[in-house]
Amino acid sequence: MSPKLNWGILATGGIARKFAAALPESRTGRLVAVGSRTRAAAEKFAADFGGLRAHGSYEALLADPEVTAVYIATPHPSHLEWTRRAAAAGKHILCEKPLALNRAGAQQMVDAARAHQVFLMEAFMYRCHPQTAKLAELVRDGAIGELRAIHANFTVPFKFDPAHRIFNKALGGGAILDLGCYPVSFSRRMAGAAAGRAFAEPLSFHGSGRLNTVTGADEFAAATVAYPGGITAQLSCSSCTPLEIRTRLLGSAGWIDVPSPFHPGEPNKPAVITLHRPGGAAPEKMEFANAQPLYALEADTVGDAIARGELESPAMSHADTLGNMAVLDAWRAAVGMRYDGEG
Ligand SMILES: NC(=O)c1ccc[n+]([C@@H]2O[C@H](COP(=O)([O-])OP(=O)(O)OC[C@H]3O[C@@H](n4cnc5c(N)ncnc54)[C@H](OP(=O)(O)O)[C@@H]3O)[C@@H](O)[C@H]2O)c1
């Protein structure tokens, strides 16, 4: 058995805490260190999770020789810089979604990881959950006939605060990058499954949306995407309307409801999908028990790939991330949303 992967967490915010809380249930990894822009935050985090080395800078975390993999959990605009620096330091990398602000940035990150021969994956944890694999299998095997349409939305209402990273463009604000990346990646995965592939690229894309009148960050967006095989996806995301997260896969001979597509099994209850077939058959519920927390499954997806000597994972390959980022670029262009420095 390979030795455990020694994780260092870069940043101490909300998702960093979730990942740290799940790591004790990872088969393949253990948390050894944390780095923060401030020593006080690193020490508080280390005390909360026990037995970690606390570093008062991200540079110091990357210089820690015991750390073999880093989990980058900063706001999106700094994913590029810290991925490049982590790769140069020879650390394997799990970086939060979206991998970058745009496809060009993501390409630089992939190039850096390849140049330094380190693992890199965008942290789409739902891609590591058995529910996602089962959905892809059902679609591929024709459980609902031919896949015709995908409905996917991700709406999380945030109280308006112009400084919050969801509204503040300097922190990568915008619903498309923060939330829309999930329905896009989900539709790509399922449209790909219909053709027996890991993902599909759109044939056409039409989007629209609204920008926040104070900060200019997109806060509601919808899109219609055409995929090969006559598959149409209707996607939406929002940070300014009431909570709604669900997806439905519609086929020529039935449909599948997926009430928890993006955080299956969280918080701590089994994920359930329902397969409907017309003609009087009772809907079939499929339940996925929580063997591990979602973020531990993600850590093990990374740990297993690294143990096999791989530099990317089929759960979210480099090509898949780059294609996903290109769709997000198109969606932002459709709503007139640009970040400073973008051409
Ligand atoms: N996969 C998921 O389920 C999931 C869920 C939520 C968020 N995310 C992603 O994770 C990333 C972080 O999100 P979050 O919700 O954890 O954000 P957050 O709570 O605001 O925390 C971000 C952390 O990044 C560090 N940071 C570095 N530069 C910063 C800056 N200029 N302003 C503020 N913080 C800065 C800070 O840590 P230090 O002060 O310690 O340096 C801060 O605590 C985003 O890219 C987001 O899309 C993923």
**Inter-residue long-range contacts of 12-20, CB under 8 Å, 24+ positions, other chains counted:** 12/36, 12/41, 12/42, 12/44, 12/45, 13/73, 13/74, 15/73, 15/96, 16/45, 16/71, 16/73, 17/45, 17/48, 18/295, 19/71, 19/73, 19/295, 19/298, 19/299, 20/45, 20/48, 20/49
Ligand 1 atom at minimum distance from 76 CA = 45
pLDDT digits (tens, 9 = 90+) for 224-282: 999 999 999 999 999 999 888 989 999 999 999 999 999 998 777 889 999 999 887 89
Inter-residue contact 42 to 104 (CB < 8 Å): no
Instruction: Report residue 278 as tokens.
Output: 């017309």
Residue 232 sits in a domain whose CATH number is 3.30.360.10
- Does residue 315 form part of some domain? no
255, 183 Cβ separation under 8 angstroms = no
Q: Which residue owns the Cα nearest ligand 1 atom 36?
A: 11
Angular region, 153: left φ>0, alpha ψ -120 to 50, beta rest: beta
133 and 232 part of one domain: yes
> 151-194, pLDDT tens digit by residue?
999 999 999 999 999 999 999 999 999 999 999 999 999 999 99
Of 14, 22, 58, nearest to 38 (Cα)?
58
- Tokens 């219609």 locate to 224
Same domain, yes or no, for 56 and 170? no
105 and 132 part of one domain: no
Q: How far apart are alpha carbons 235 and 222 in whole angstroms?
A: 6
- DSSP structural state of residue 178: I
Q: What is the CA(75)–ligand 1 centre distance, in A?
A: 4
**Residue 27 counted as domain residue:** yes
Which residue segment(s) compose the domain that 38 sits in? Answer: 5-123
Give the orientation angle of helix 103-115 with respect to helix 318-335, to 10 degrees: 160
pLDDT band of 43, cuts 50, 70, 90: very high
Verify whether ligand 1 is closer than 6 Å to residue 168 (CB atom): no
136 CA distance to ligand 1 middle (Å): 30
| Residue after which a domain boundary falls, among 123, 146, 175 | 123
Tell me: do 137 and 72 sit in the same domain: no
Pair 82, 72: CB distance under 8 Å = yes
99 lines ligand 1 (CB under 6 A): no
pLDDT, tens digit (0-9, with 9 covering 90-100), for 91-148: 999 999 999 999 999 999 999 999 999 999 999 999 999 999 999 999 999 999 999 9
Percentage of the chain beyond pLDDT 90 is: 92
Cα radius of gyration (the chain): 20
In a domain, 286, yes or no: yes
Query: Quick check: CB of 218 below 6 Å from ligand 1?
Result: no
Decide: 56 in ligand 1 pocket, CB within 6 A.
no
CA 277 to chain centre: 30
Q: How far is the CA of 98 from the centre of ligand 1 (A)?
A: 12
Tell me the CATH number at 38.
Answer: 3.40.50.720
Cβ count within 10 A of residue 63: 12
Number of domains, the chain? 2
Instruction: Specify the DSSP class assigned to residue 77.
Output: G
Query: 78 alpha carbon to ligand 1 midpoint, in Å?
Result: 10
Contact 154, 183 (CB under 8 A): yes
- Whether residue 216 sits in one domain with residue 97: no
pLDDT single digits (tens) 296-332: 999 999 999 999 999 999 999 999 999 999 999 999 9
Ligand 1 neighbourhood includes 179 CB (under 6 angstroms): no
Residues 113, 226: one domain? no
Tell me if 11 CB under 6 Å of ligand 1.
yes
Residue 1: band (very low, low, confident or very high) from pLDDT cuts 50, 70, 90:
low
d(CA 149, CA 133): 18
Whether 115 and 166 share a structural domain:
no
Domain identity same for 100 and 43: yes
* pTM beyond cutoff 0.95: yes
The reply to whether ligand 1 has any atom less than 6 angstroms from the CB of 36 is yes
- 343 band by pLDDT with thresholds 50, 70 and 90: low
Look at residue 158 and tell me if it is in a domain: yes
* Residue 97 CB–ligand 1 contact under 6 Å: yes
